[in-house]
Structure 1
């Protein structure tokens, strides 16, 4: 009887470990999607962008697999305490990751259109923004795997630089539009890409917030720092 109980405990621990690994793998797939969508944009690589779009199905399939695994754990193991929080958190996190995958796919779709348009600007801001959101996503995934609430808190508080880069891109695209109406099509698509990256950053911090709760059992009371001022931007004609 004692051996059976020990075996059950070991099997349960292995299932929780597997759950973390599956969620981390899904996060890794999404991180790669963000990186490749940005590379496709900068290099004007329609072929890579098409590949990014086709890979989104793998993220969706993994989300469904993890969700089914979580439901099975809830039904068979009847978890409590931190184990229960982990499983519930995993179900929330995979939804955020799925949305990140969708935003990366949308950015890749825009990259295909932009590859046919005249080049507009250096796109350095897009590369920096993508790097920041990838770092935040990776940090959130590391916090989940390692039960690290402090790392989750760091990611949660790190969204402001992403917003600052987004604000710069927003102003730059408005300037391009004002300078020459022929820039409007490309600049509009680039604004959508920038907004996709900004939303990816928001979902990364959502994940961090969920990890904090899963580990500590406490919610973050404060509203996270934000610096998106695009809603208040005023278009002024170039002097």
Structure 2
């Protein structure tokens, strides 16, 4: 793989598995030094070790993005160990499952605490450090918020999640408008359904198969389908991309069903 991110330092939140772990490996193979964060540090220590064993620089640290006060110190630790942060992949998120009539305030608040509040304060902490270190002055600052097709498509039974991802999309545009002149490109990536350990069982059920048949290509995506878009938004190719909400979903959010 071409080392398009050589010399850059990337932070990936929610890197304990799924897309976060995949993104961390991808960025490292593209040349970046990578900090993997998660609420349980043991979940990212193994992955950081695997990345290091491949010859890349990586570190693991505990971070719950819902705890805004913990984000700054964690990013300071990253800069002490790896150097100035130039890339933030705002990936940490929760599902917020539940029908609207059944949702509790606790589920609603937790969904927004992680999916929106955590995204904002992680972006703020990263941007402050990009500006202070001179990364932004070099127009090398990159913030990629992982949203979802839920930001613009109703996913049934996921009112809180849909609302939180729509908020992430508008937040992305707002931050891009404020920080573009500072040399920080803020964009969002909206993936469609990708098979993971969490949803694999569902798509084997009758309801899951019915949902699959409603997709134009009647299949789930693979994590690797996001690689080109993520690398574009994280690297030099994003020089003239700001406030974009990029959907990569295999056509799943197209109207009309399959």
State the TM-score, normalizing by the size of structure 1: 0.31
Higher helix share: 1
More relative contact order, 1 or 2 (CA 8 Å, 6+ apart) = 1
Which structure would you say has the larger Rg?
1
Higher strand share: 2
